[in-house]
Chains A and B, each alone.
Chain A
Amino acid sequence: MREIITKIDEITGNIATLKASNVGLGELAVVMSPGRSTPGQVIRISGDSATLQIFGGTKGISTSDKVRFLGHPMQVKYGESLLGRIFNGSGVPIDGGPEPVEEEIPIGGPSFNPANRIIPRQMIRTNIPMIDLFNSLVISQKLPIFSVPGEPYNQLLARVGMQADADIIVLGGMGLKFDDFTFFRRTFEESGVMNRVIMFIHQASDPVVECLLVPDMSLAVAERFAEAGKKVLVLLTDMTNFADSLKEISISMEQIPSNRGYPGDLYSQLAARYEKAVDIEGLGSITLLAVTTMPGDDVTHPIPDNTGYITEGQFYLRRGVIDPFGSLSRLKQNVVSKVTRKDHNDIMNTMVRLFSDCRESRNKIAMGFKVSKWDETLLAYGSDFEKEMMDLNVNMSIEDALDKCWEMLARHFEPMQTGLKNDLVAEFWPKTLEK
């Protein structure tokens, strides 16, 4: 560790430039102002000057502050003792507990060798039928939840965290409101899962760019646990704040923006994080579920757009429910009716098709057309489908959900009307409820 007493030459946005020699690209530095120290990272070197990205923001930093270079890039603690703990965006405990004693590991490490990847074929159960049954989450999948402020995306994330069959849950919060932070914490504590949760929380009141480290720290820790054989679920909320911080930094660096002010490397930056999701042969895995709030509810906005090009499908959370139409798990075909029950595939398609028909009937009504008997059947089915399947409070195993679907179909339809294959009908159609 070298201490360099230096004068900061220039401060703009979240960037500070100063004289320093023998510092490496990516090296961690601490700017020590009276009463506080702020981490920063070397993002540019030129001759005898170095440019630092200051994670804690430059507010109040003085040109006479000392800067200490640590001789290594950003690191995070890793070990069993992190379980149940809460850290801020710089990796400092904020739960009142002690500093973990374990080793520090680098963050933002190299990518997994593609040649070592395997085709993922295991499902993660969440007991949320709209996920398990209609868009199954597969181990190692990276999936965003596209939503807008005001929707219960954090509630959904917390429920997945609580109920998913994962060994370890890493929650990365970016720009998290105090209420949401408390909500997560309470939910995990009350449901008794806190002992397998690790939280890296950047709060809305923290300096904006401090959230940049949250995904990297979360994923670095997750990666180590996965290598140690653990099935890790990483939950990130909200990646839009992460992308906006990238934008801030790039503007301070006077980079020419590519699209609505966002840097040209937004895709690569997001991909570097999302691609950490992995299923390691014979060892553990990382599955990644991340909230992306869409500015202006516009999916073509650069943040959701670039995300969609990276992830393996998306969930749309709209009006409090996971929309069965736009939502897609691209990996579900790896598990549906392969590791799940054989009626899964047909039930999944039939239920959604009928619900889509119901939507057309609803449109008919809205346009003032006459409704037929068939329309009425569909309408009744549709409202039951919403209540008994789509409602986010519905909580049951996929097997129970499949049974429930058969029961709902039998309640409203003749087997013939569903278009389901005869052999499935023979095996699964409820006998007692036959209309």
Chain B
Amino acid sequence: MPVHGKVVAAYGNMVTASFDESVRQNEVAYILASDGSKLKSEVIRVRGNNCNVQVFEDTKGIKIGDTVEFTGDLLVVELGPGLLQQIYDGLQNPLPKLSKATGLFLKRGIYFEALDRSLKWDFTPLAKQGDEICAGDILGWVPEGKFTHQIFVPFNFIGKAKIVKMADAGSYTVDNVIAEVENEAGKRILLNMVQQWPIKIPLKNYEERLLPTEPLVTGCRIIDSFCPVAKGGTACIPGPFGSGKTVLQQLISRYADVDIIIVAACGERAGEVVETLKEFPHLADPYSEGRTLIERTVIICNTSSMPVAAREASIYTAITIGEYYRQMGLHVLLLADSTSRWAQALREMSGRLEEIPGEEAFPAYLQSRIAEFYERACCVRLKSGKIGSVSVIGTVSPAGGNFEEPVTQGTLAVVGAFHGLTWARSNARRFPAIDPLISWSKYLDQMAESLNKRDPEWVNLIKKTQKIMFEGNEVKKRMDVVGEEGTSAADFVLMLKAEFLDAVYLQQNAFDNVDAYNTLERQIYTFGKVFKILQKDIAIKDKDEGRQTFFRLTSLFKNWNSSEWQSDKFRKLENEVNAFIGSEK
């Protein structure tokens, strides 16, 4: 029997309700509006016999005295086979299904099951009658695309139990019973392939959390070489509007060497999700022959004009789905665009709760919420011995493009890598507009052992190169003041080298089919050549000649970058590169 209450106040998407019995912090409640719709909401504060609920829907028409139904359940997501290829809103409502039911526009108060109940899955049991089981144990598996989707004993299963009856191999819907178990109290429990997990609680069913030490290759040179991301690690991409955050994330979503991509479009443009939505079914998965990108993707889409409270929930929905697939020993990457919109949703609620505001009116707990979220990214050793990971790359949209604001600062304090985009670079069309002088990654050292497998000196080479980058920039700044005449030839060459590195290695043409994405193998190869040129003594007669030399080199490398790996053109251009490297000063 659900507990009932009554609306006593409402303002924006916050409703205050009175109740008689007891309510639970963060439980789901439904407001029964007078037009007959049931509006999903969440208890966010309890005070005496009143509680505040944030409503996940438009609150138009709510009246004093409307009934509130408390469910006693926390906000959960459904987990099971069939999550891949889906497009959900922030509360895991499947948008295509909603479209069939309500037409062109969203309609409030209509909820569908997240997983398709009619689809049948080829189930192979792995557990058998008599086995003792507990939460997170594997009962069997079904093929989901190229993945072995493991079917677990629900992660919230309490205590131990014995399997009384196990389903045979066969074709089942997620609702069909696949195991009957008896717990220690002698109670019989039926298990099927779908389970639920509260989104705000990290799923921790693993043996051990590991330090992330393996690189997550994005295909983007400046990231992978200079500010790498680890599998199970975190990174943030702050940048003013139009600096290229979304384009960068879209590139990563296509090329990252992980098993599963979760795209969380959190409070940004609907049009941008549509590109992913419409293009992924036609784009080849670079890691599996004959499959398309959509087969490894889940899209959580709570765009800017959709309800704000559901936006707050959306990134938790996304990461919970990620944690679920991690449990199968898969590597998952969550791309959240933009975490600032999530933080703003927190701010809106906090304001309505009349909490004492912190900086820029964000709630005082902003920092800890950001930390809690990013802490859910991790690399773990599972009970099965397999390694799984969830990595998070979140964009940040700082007000006025100023990185000193609370969300950027709060994020920088907890992430492992920082890819800062600036207008200085995007306006100069130096894409990706990651500023190499301000960006950093803690993983460069943390993953040194793994990275140095490519080349025993790799990390050192990168650091040497960074030094050239900084020194070249110093020269450039000085030159702006004293002019070319006041710059020594050696300094001038250093500056040209840094510019060359920028033009042919840090910058990458997202719209060139070849250059858009570099395998690690290719990056190491190209970097080797670039580094040789940086190390080469290049004597110049005068500055114009120096400029000409590097102009030619840059154009040579750019052509090389856009030629297919190991193609004839590639080899021909490589010979030219080698000829230059081997030439006299």
Which residues of A pack against B, CB within 8 Å?
21-27, 43-48, 73, 109-120, 140, 227, 255-259, 264-265, 267-268, 271-272, 275-276, 280, 300-302, 305, 308-310, 312-314, 325-326, 328, 330-331, 333
Contacts of B361 in A (CB 8 A): 256-259, 264
| Given A110-B107, A255-B351, CB of A46 within 8 Å of CB of B8 | yes
Contact B58 A115 (CB under 8 A): no
Binds A, one of B96-104, B174-182, B467-475: B96-104
Contact A265 B348 (CB under 8 A): yes
Binds A, one of B112-120, B271-279, B379-387: B271-279
Contact B344 A264 (CB under 8 A): yes
Contact A110 B58 (CB under 8 A): yes
Interface of B is mostly: mixed
In angstroms, Cα B305 to Cα A328, docked, is 23
17 A-B residue pairs with CB within 8 Å: A73-B61, A110-B105, A111-B270, A112-B105, A113-B99, A113-B105, A117-B277, A256-B361, A258-B347, A264-B348, A265-B348, A268-B308, A275-B303, A302-B399, A309-B397, A312-B271, A313-B242
Contacts of A256 in B (CB 8 A): 351, 357, 361
Contacts of A114 in B (CB 8 A): 87, 95, 270, 273-274, 277, 301, 303
Contacts of A301 in B (CB 8 A): 400
Contact B400 A44 (CB under 8 A): no
Interface of A is mostly: loop
Contacts of B274 in A (CB 8 A): 114, 117-119
Nearest CB in chain A: distance from B270 CB, A: 4
User: Quick one: which of B44-67 are within 8 Å of A by CB?
Assistant: 58-65
| Given A114-B273, A256-B357, A302-B399, CB of A275 within 8 Å of CB of B242 | no
Contacts of B403 in A (CB 8 A): none
**Count of inter-chain pairs, beta carbons less than 8 A:** 170
Contacts of B362 in A (CB 8 A): 258
| Given A27-B61, A268-B344, A305-B400, CB of A111 within 8 Å of CB of B105 | yes
Contact A112 B104 (CB under 8 A): yes
* Closest residue on chain A to residue B356 by CB atoms: A256
Contacts of A109 in B (CB 8 A): 105
In angstroms, Cα B375 to Cα A170, docked, is 48
Contact B241 A305 (CB under 8 A): yes
Number of interface residues, chain B, beta carbon within 8 A: 62
User: Residue B401 at the A interface, CB < 8 A?
Assistant: yes
In angstroms, Cα B9 to Cα A295, docked, is 37
Contacts of B59 in A (CB 8 A): 25-26
* Closest residue on chain A to residue B274 by CB atoms: A117
Contact A272 B99 (CB under 8 A): no
In angstroms, Cα B397 to Cα A45, docked, is 34
Contact A22 B242 (CB under 8 A): no
Contact B400 A116 (CB under 8 A): no
A305 interface neighbour in B12, B63, B301, B399, Cβ under 8 Å: B399
In angstroms, Cα B426 to Cα A308, docked, is 15
In angstroms, Cα B271 to Cα A275, docked, is 9
Contacts of B275 in A (CB 8 A): 119
In angstroms, Cα B341 to Cα A259, docked, is 15
* Closest residue on chain A to residue B279 by CB atoms: A119
Contacts of A47 in B (CB 8 A): 8-9, 64
B233-271 to A contact mask, C-beta < 8 Å, 1/0: 000000011100000000000000000000000010111
Contact B304 A24 (CB under 8 A): no
In angstroms, Cα B392 to Cα A132, docked, is 39
Contact B401 A300 (CB under 8 A): yes
* Closest residue on chain A to residue B338 by CB atoms: A309
Contacts A111-B305, A115-B87, A272-B304 known; list 8 others, CB within 8 Å.
Answer: A43-B11, A114-B270, A114-B274, A265-B308, A267-B341, A305-B399, A312-B271, A313-B242
Contacts of B103 in A (CB 8 A): 113
Contact A272 B11 (CB under 8 A): no
In angstroms, Cα B120 to Cα A174, docked, is 56
Nearest CB in chain B: distance from A219 CB, A: 11
Contacts of A276 in B (CB 8 A): 305
Nearest CB in chain B: distance from A339 CB, A: 17
* Closest residue on chain B to residue A111 by CB atoms: B305
In angstroms, Cα B11 to Cα A45, docked, is 7
User: Residue B333 at the A interface, CB < 8 A?
Assistant: no
Contact B242 A330 (CB under 8 A): yes
* Closest residue on chain B to residue A307 by CB atoms: B241
| Given A25-B60, A46-B8, CB of A117 within 8 Å of CB of B270 | yes
Contacts of B308 in A (CB 8 A): 265, 268
B99 interface neighbour in A23, A111, A115, A265, Cβ under 8 Å: A115
Contact A45 B105 (CB under 8 A): no
In angstroms, Cα B352 to Cα A43, docked, is 12
Q: Which of B65, B274, B301, B360 has the most CB of A within 10 A?
A: B274
In angstroms, Cα B210 to Cα A78, docked, is 61
In angstroms, Cα B60 to Cα A271, docked, is 18
Contact A110 B64 (CB under 8 A): no
Nearest CB in chain A: distance from B354 CB, A: 8
User: Residue B488 at the A interface, CB < 8 A?
Assistant: no
Contact A111 B399 (CB under 8 A): no
Contacts of A328 in B (CB 8 A): 242
A115 interface neighbour in B95, B360, B401, Cβ under 8 Å: B95
| Given A258-B361, A265-B308, A268-B344, CB of A44 within 8 Å of CB of B241 | no
User: Residue B200 at the A interface, CB < 8 A?
Assistant: no
